[in-house]
């Protein structure tokens, strides 16, 4: 999937400082996007998350070999991600791409994703929150099977746009507002499982081949323009890595058991280590280092009321 090129900021400081036009943007619907994927796209996505190590492990080959391929549920962000860039074309959303960061992410799945898919994705601006010096724009997308018109996955993207605040409080007051139901707090005890996930130095260069070609993940000069010392890893890459760690360790590798997935806070740059829970099917947790503080991700099993597993990454 090809994304539009990066948009440069205006040379006019007054234009650059203009806040988002909330009246125009909140509740706006985007044009539907048609898309498709094949086993090759799925494998490339999994490789971008670091799958395939060890390369002869049957559990890893299930992510990387077409002969027995399964689809990690977080692949559901791929057909929907271009909508983030379409959002920037809306009237009242003239923002600098280098100031856009991925904030929170939540997805709800209606069943296992197919290895080969033809889909249509619709989107709407569900909420806008004034963060003072920044704006948080919540974009909801619905991806449907093009043949049956049945929903496959609903995503909520939260885009953190620096320098675009100052428009006043509309946090949840517009007709496009929607609040995700909270996940229960993790139990006050040690986790059943700890996992370290390691990234490759070129991880962002691999992951961007799945569609997110924002130069902030590859071009050092563009990254510096956005205030970073070097290109940064995609938040949706770590998002997928966290889910893979939970599926492999707490769900016995069964991708079909995931019904909902939402990190409560950004999981950071993950590192992976193969540990198994002491009790099969028990809640699995992974702690981040004390230096960073706890960061949790909730995974809710399909047809299960509570979170089956929580992950906090180092």
Residues with catalytic roles: 212, 217
Handedness of CA 76, 79, 85, 86 (dihedral sign): negative
End-to-end CA distance of the chain, in Å?
31
CA–CA dist 230, 198 (Å, integer): 19
CA–CA dist 55, 61 (Å, integer): 7
- DSSP for 124-148, written as a single string: EEEEEEE-SSEEEEEEEEEEEETTT
CB 75 within 8 A of CB 1: no
CA–CA dist 73, 258 (Å, integer): 7
Residue 312 CB partners (closer than 8 Å, separation 6+) = 191, 267, 285, 286, 287, 288, 294, 295, 296, 297
CA–CA dist 168, 307 (Å, integer): 35
Residue 197 CB partners (closer than 8 Å, separation 6+) = 50, 241, 242, 245, 270, 271, 272, 273, 313, 314
β-partners of residue 108 are 154, 260
Alpha carbon distances (Å) from 279 to 192, 304, 308: 8, 18, 13
């Amino acid at each position: 999937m090809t994304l539009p090129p990066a948009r440069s900021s205006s040379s006019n400081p007054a234009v650059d400082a203009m806040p988002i036009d909330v009246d125009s943007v909140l509740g706006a619907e985007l044009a539907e996007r048609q898309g498709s994927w094949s086993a090759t796209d799925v494998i490339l996505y999994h490789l971008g998350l670091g799958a395939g190590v060890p390369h002869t492990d049957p559990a890893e080959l299930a992510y990387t070999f077409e002969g027995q391929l399964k689809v990690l549920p977080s692949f559901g962000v791929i057909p929907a991600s271009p909508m983030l860039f379409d959002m920037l074309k809306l009237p009242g959303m003239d923002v600098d791409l280098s100031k856009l960061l991925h904030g929170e992410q939540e997805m709800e799945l209606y069943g296992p994703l197919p290895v080969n898919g033809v889909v249509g994705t619709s989107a709407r601006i569900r909420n806008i929150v004034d963060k003072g010096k920044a704006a948080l724009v919540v974009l909801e997308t619905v991806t449907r099977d093009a043949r049956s018109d049945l929903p496959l996955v609903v995503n909520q993207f939260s885009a953190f746009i620096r320098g675009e605040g100052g428009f006043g409080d509309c946090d949840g007051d517009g007709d496009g507002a929607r609040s995700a139901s909270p996940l229960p707090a993790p139990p006050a005890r040690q986790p059943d499982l700890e996992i370290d996930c390691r990234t490759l130095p070129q991880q962002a260069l691999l992951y961007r081949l799945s569609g997110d070609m924002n130069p902030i993940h590859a071009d050092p000069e563009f990254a510096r323009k956005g205030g970073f010392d070097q290109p940064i890893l995609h938040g949706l890459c770590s998002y997928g890595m966290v889910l893979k760690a939970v599926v492999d360790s707490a769900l016995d590798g069964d991708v079909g058991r995931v019904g909902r997935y939402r990190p409560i806070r950004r999981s950071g740059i993950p590192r992976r280590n193969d540990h198994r829970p002491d009790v099969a099917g028990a809640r699995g947790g992974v702690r981040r280092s004390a230096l960073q503080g706890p960061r949790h991700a909730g995974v809710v099993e399909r047809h299960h009321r509570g979170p089956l597993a929580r992950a906090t990454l180092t």
